Amino acid sequence: MKKVLLTSLMIIVTLGIVGYFLAQTMARGSQDNFFNRNIRPKISASPFWRSVFVFKDYGDARRDYLKSGAKIRFNLYYMEGIDVEPEMLEQMAAEINRLTGEDTSYRIVTTHIPYASNVVSDEIDQIKNKYEFGNSDGYSDAYVFILSEDAFNPELIGSTIEQNSMVIYNNAIKAFVGQNKQTVSPYVLSTILHEFGHLLGMEHTTESGCLMLEHAEEDHVPKRDPDDVITKFCESEVKQVEIIKQSEG
Ligand SMILES: [Zn+2]
């Protein structure tokens, strides 16, 4: 009898290990494979299993933000000398609330990340490790680091880091808008919203008027009028998030 138990136990452990490595392999495959589309979101829904499987790409934490009753909180970290209009933050929270249907707030954690004219990813990791603490006090936290520019890709205006964070490159946005200084704030807003769209698992779109277009302006010509900058998710994006919410309960 003991032998049967031991054998069963060994089979279960072996299956577990094989399953784990199989999952890891499939997770590294195409975003569109069956595992990544159907199974990974279920595993990632739980922060515990997400850390066991080390699923920390953009989209893996979307259930944190889209579960009903989520209290989404943006934590902002500014490099010295970077100024962000409070009104922009209000608009950001209102738009995320409209998109997700969930309560959204923000707080400025620091405005004193030491200034550097550009940053490499190691430095971003250091900054992130220094300040980030994961979800706390019942909030679903998102982390926004507003830094100068990327050392290797100075034109990059924003990118996600892992499943719950983003970097916005303020100097790159300033360089992009040139003389149209009044559009810096709307472009910062649209970049934050775009990157948060990725954190919710959204991919790039080609539909004009949407926030998930790959570039701030597809023709690379910045808008002159702040009101012309896209700072709202388009109808199909709102719909897409609704569908994710419904399908993942
Ligand atoms: Zn993008």
| Buried b / exposed e along 12-39 (16+ C-beta atoms within 10 A) | eeeeeeeeeeebeeebeeeeeeebbeee
Strands of 12-157, DSSP E: 71-79, 103-113, 140-147
| C-alpha of residue 168 to centroid of ligand 1, in Å | 12
Amino acid identity for residue 158 in this structure: G
Distance 8 CA to ligand 1 centre (A): 47
Q: Give the pLDDT of residue 135.
A: 65
Q: How far is the CA of 59 from the centre of ligand 1 (A)?
A: 12
* Residue 233 vs residues 63, 165, 205, 243: alpha-carbon distances, Å: 19, 19, 11, 15
200 CA to middle of ligand 1, Å? 12
- Look up the CATH superfamily of 65-247: Collagenase (Catalytic Domain) (3.40.390.10)
CB within 8 Å of 84: residues ≥ 6 apart: 76, 78, 146, 185, 188
d(CA 61, CA 134) in angstroms, rounded, equals: 11
Distance 212 CA to ligand 1 centre (A): 6
Which residues have a Cβ under 8 Å from the Cβ of 47 and sit 6 or more positions away?
61, 64, 135
Ligand 1 geometric centre to CA of 160 (Å): 8
Expressed in angstroms and rounded, the spacing between residue 84 Cα and the centre of ligand 1 is: 21
**Ligand 1 centroid from CA 73, angstroms:** 21
215 dihedral zone (left: phi>0; alpha: psi -120 to 50; beta): beta
Largest pairwise CA distance in the chain: 81
Structure tokens at 167: 């970097």
Ligand 1 centroid to 194 CA: how many Å?
Answer: 6
* Amino acid in the structure at residue 219: D
pLDDT at position 156, please?
96
Q: What is the pLDDT of residue 209?
A: 94
Tens digit of each residue's pLDDT, the chain (249 residues): 788 999 999 999 999 999 888 888 889 888 888 888 888 888 888 888 888 888 988 999 999 999 999 999 999 999 998 988 899 999 999 999 999 999 999 999 989 999 999 999 888 888 888 876 666 788 999 999 999 999 999 999 999 999 999 999 999 999 999 999 999 999 999 999 999 999 999 999 999 999 999 999 989 999 999 999 999 999 999 999 999 998 876
Domain ranges for the chain? 2-56, 65-247
